[in-house]
Structure 1
Amino acid sequence: MGWFDRLRQGLEKTRALIRRSFSNISAEDLEELEIALLSADVGPKTTERLLEELKAKWKASPDEKLSSLLKSSITSLFPPPFNIIDRFLNGKWVILVIGVNGSGKTTTIGKLGKLLKDRGKSVIFVAGDTFRAAAIEQLEIWGERVGIPVIKHREGADPGAVAFDGLKSAKARNIDIVIVDTAGRLHTKYNLMEELKKVRRVIEREKEDYQLYTLLVIDATMGQNAINQARMFNEALMVDGIAVTKLDGTAKGGVVISIVSELKIPIVLVGVGEDIDDMQSFNSEEFVNALFWEMN
């Protein structure tokens, strides 16, 4: 199965909500569509914006199908498509991966590492989540699986010290990409945010010719809670891009639209399954086309 087919399949639950709403609506009465968008976790602000645009577009083009007009409005919310993997192929990078426990951080690190290694880049993982022995073990399992070395300390060690050693090792071995795992306790915990800021400061101080990219991983099944997480992490750490995981298991795929509309943070990676190749660089055109498959 090709990547677009996997994405389309992953969005089936979200697409079904929207498709059903089009069966009995008109431009004068969009209540069913409003309910569908909210149910898909597009969010109240973005839903209101889209419905207002839809009404205005229909007045200007009354012969157009409402689904086509909505598709156009959603497409316009996204920045022009770009491939984050291609970006990481140029120069050296430290990718600081953040997010709450259970969001799929470690899996994202493993899959991203494989994507980059397959493109010819040298990669190391840094086990910066020292609060859970299981987190270190999980990263080591992924390292063995994809053939990428892991820099680690003992459980309970200072995450900043692990990041320091990871960068030191990368510079000594002329590694292209350093991917740093971090602790993922609840985003409302002040100490966690301060700890992540410290890790970021260590990387900023030691990175030399490496560029720093802060990647937030969110679980699509969390819906609007994912928006709140993204907002909190962004305020603390200035998130550069977001990886959305578990898009295949939810009808809440509209959260992708909400994040881009409300927070203006680009979605750069998307995961639609458990297989090692089920994560790819996010392409907004593919996402919207998959969301509106067979509706036009």
Structure 2
Amino acid sequence: METVILAVVIALVVILAAGGLVVGSRRRKQLPPAPPTEQPTITAPPAEPHIGDEAEAPRDEPRRTIEEVELPESEDASAGGVLVEERPAAPEIEQPEPTAGRLVRLRSRLSRSQNALGKGLLTLLSREHLDEDTWEEVEDTLLTADVGVAPTQELVERLRTRVKVLGTRSPADLRQLLREELLTLVRTDLDRTLHTDGLPNADGADQPAVLMVVGVNGTGKTTTTGKLARVLVADGRSVVLGAADTFRAAAADQLQTWGERVGARTVRGPEGGDPASVAFDAVKEGIAEGADVVLIDTAGRLHTKTGLMDELGKVKRVVEKHGPVDEVLLVLDATTGQNGLVQARVFAEVVDITGIVLTKLDGTAKGGIVVAVQRELGVPVKLIGLGEGADDLAPFEPEAFVDALIGS
């Protein structure tokens, strides 16, 4: 029995040993071949070709740090090697056209758009028989020209009386008659000078004259302020501009451009800032610089906005802490006709208007607005605008104006 067991054990050992040899031989056959001992060669990417017929062979150049790279020298470099920034050239100071007789020189421009009034009246008055229908036509002509109801009635009554007394009516006589009556309406007795002579302050020091420019949006107020600066410079005055229209982004830039053209400095504040503060600082700078005139451009306000109109009154009160305001000029668009009288009335209630500036009188405006606005406010028209040119703002001269209305 023991012999049989021993024989079985030996047989099992032999079988297991034979199986291990077979498995080992199979594993050796599945192993991949050993890698070669030499290292593979790494090929560099081809060099970029250069412009030309043939590409050059790439060259190995040593890399430089940023400190080693030399910058090209600038032609504007100073001796110390510091680059000099090129600044824009200062604007050339212009010499404005003299204001004396400026309206006479612009007479042809005024007469082209305004003499329909004068010619119409002369034609009617030249009729052989001046009946009631003719006088009604005279009234209609005057009313259409925005003269106003009361002034029209006064003029017609005086014309009827004088024509009856005159008897024969030659063209020269009629023209002289109409000229005299229109001058009476326009009024030659009003003081139309700009008060630009400042008074000494409490300390006895010279104080610049302060002129405020007010008006409704769209009347050309800022442009008029710039043109007025040219008028003053042309008359030998030194000017400081105050850009107190802080609600319109371009207003200060526009005013500064006007000032630079005639050598006037512009005091301005932040957009949306306090207009009264800017106006106060402008007068302060004018005093410090010894300027003759300080021109303050206020924001264009709708006459229906009570709060904004009250703010305009505040600007004037703050400026008067330095001294009195010499002029408050109301800018009116002559083409608005009777609506301009409504604007004028409201502004006069807020600030004391001392003079009128009528703009756009060269267009479709009616010359009679001069009469109407003076009658409404009791203050004179001092300046009129006759175009878009820089020197198209002229002092108002009643004689030259009436002569342009009725023609030669």
How does the TM-score come out when normalised to structure 1? 0.90
Residue-by-residue CA offset, 1:153-206 (whole Å, 9 max, x unaligned):
011111111111111111111111000001112112111210111011011122
The runs of 5 or more residues in structure 1 that have no matched partner are none
The answer on whether the counterparts of 2:333 and 2:340 sit within 8 Å (CA) in structure 1 is: yes
1:125 corresponds to: 241
The answer on whether the counterparts of 1:81 and 1:283 sit within 8 Å (CA) in structure 2 is: no
Choose which of 173, 182, 188 in structure 2 pairs with 1:74.
Answer: 182
CA distance in 2 between counterparts of 1:191 and 1:60 reads 55
Choose which of 38, 56, 61 in structure 1 pairs with 2:161.
Answer: 56
In structure 2, relative to structure 1, the CA distance for the partners of 1:123 and 1:2 (3 Å cut) is: closer
- 1:237 Cα shift? 0.9
2:317 corresponds to: 201
CA distance in 2 between counterparts of 1:192 and 1:12 reads 38
Counting only pairs closer than 5 Å after superposition, residues 1-296 of structure 1 correspond to structure 2 as: 3-25=103-125, 27-28=130-131, 29-64=134-169, 65-77=173-185, 78-80=187-189, 84-85=193-194, 87-88=195-196, 92-207=208-323, 211-294=325-408
The answer on whether the counterparts of 1:219 and 1:245 sit within 8 Å (CA) in structure 2 is: yes
CA distance in 2 between counterparts of 1:157 and 1:39 reads 43
Higher mean alpha-carbon deviation, 284-293 vs 20-29, is at: 20-29
CA distance in 1 between counterparts of 2:380 and 2:119 reads 26
CA distance in 1 between counterparts of 2:255 and 2:120 reads 42
Residue-by-residue CA offset, 1:98-136 (whole Å, 9 max, x unaligned):
001111111111111112112221101101111111211
CA distance in 1 between counterparts of 2:183 and 2:136 reads 22
CA distance in 1 between counterparts of 2:145 and 2:348 reads 23
Higher mean alpha-carbon deviation, 273-282 vs 239-248, is at: 273-282
SS in 2 for 1:121: coil
CA distance in 1 between counterparts of 2:232 and 2:160 reads 44
CA distance in 1 between counterparts of 2:316 and 2:235 reads 27
CA distance in 2 between counterparts of 1:23 and 1:285 reads 21
| Letter matched to residue 212 of structure 1 | D
The answer on whether the counterparts of 2:191 and 2:380 sit within 8 Å (CA) in structure 1 is: no
CA distance in 2 between counterparts of 1:8 and 1:227 reads 27
In structure 2, relative to structure 1, the CA distance for the partners of 1:90 and 1:161 (3 Å cut) is: closer
- 1:84 Cα shift? 2.2
CA distance in 1 between counterparts of 2:396 and 2:351 reads 22
The runs of 5 or more residues in structure 2 that have no matched partner are 1-100, 200-207
SS in 2 for 1:253: coil
- Name the % identity: 43
The answer on whether the counterparts of 1:125 and 1:179 sit within 8 Å (CA) in structure 2 is: yes
* Greater share of helix: 1
Larger-gyration structure (1/2): 2
In structure 2, relative to structure 1, the CA distance for the partners of 1:289 and 1:228 (3 Å cut) is: same
RMSD: 2.1
In structure 2, relative to structure 1, the CA distance for the partners of 1:159 and 1:215 (3 Å cut) is: same
CA distance in 2 between counterparts of 1:120 and 1:24 reads 46
Residue-by-residue CA offset, 1:61-119 (whole Å, 9 max, x unaligned):
3335444333212211314265525x425653100100011111111111111121122
SS in 2 for 1:13: helix
CA distance in 1 between counterparts of 2:252 and 2:344 reads 24
The answer on whether the counterparts of 2:103 and 2:400 sit within 8 Å (CA) in structure 1 is: no
Higher mean alpha-carbon deviation, 151-160 vs 116-125, is at: 116-125
In structure 2, relative to structure 1, the CA distance for the partners of 1:14 and 1:3 (3 Å cut) is: closer
The answer on whether the counterparts of 2:142 and 2:368 sit within 8 Å (CA) in structure 1 is: yes
In structure 2, relative to structure 1, the CA distance for the partners of 1:115 and 1:21 (3 Å cut) is: closer
CA distance in 2 between counterparts of 1:283 and 1:111 reads 18
| Letter matched to residue 383 of structure 2 | L
The answer on whether the counterparts of 2:269 and 2:278 sit within 8 Å (CA) in structure 1 is: yes
The answer on whether the counterparts of 2:210 and 2:325 sit within 8 Å (CA) in structure 1 is: yes
Tell me the number of residue pairs that the alignment of Structure 1 and Structure 2 aligns: 291
SS in 1 for 2:244: coil
Higher mean alpha-carbon deviation, 50-59 vs 280-289, is at: 50-59
SS in 2 for 1:205: coil
SS in 1 for 2:298: coil
The answer on whether the counterparts of 2:214 and 2:299 sit within 8 Å (CA) in structure 1 is: yes
How does the TM-score come out when normalised to structure 2? 0.67
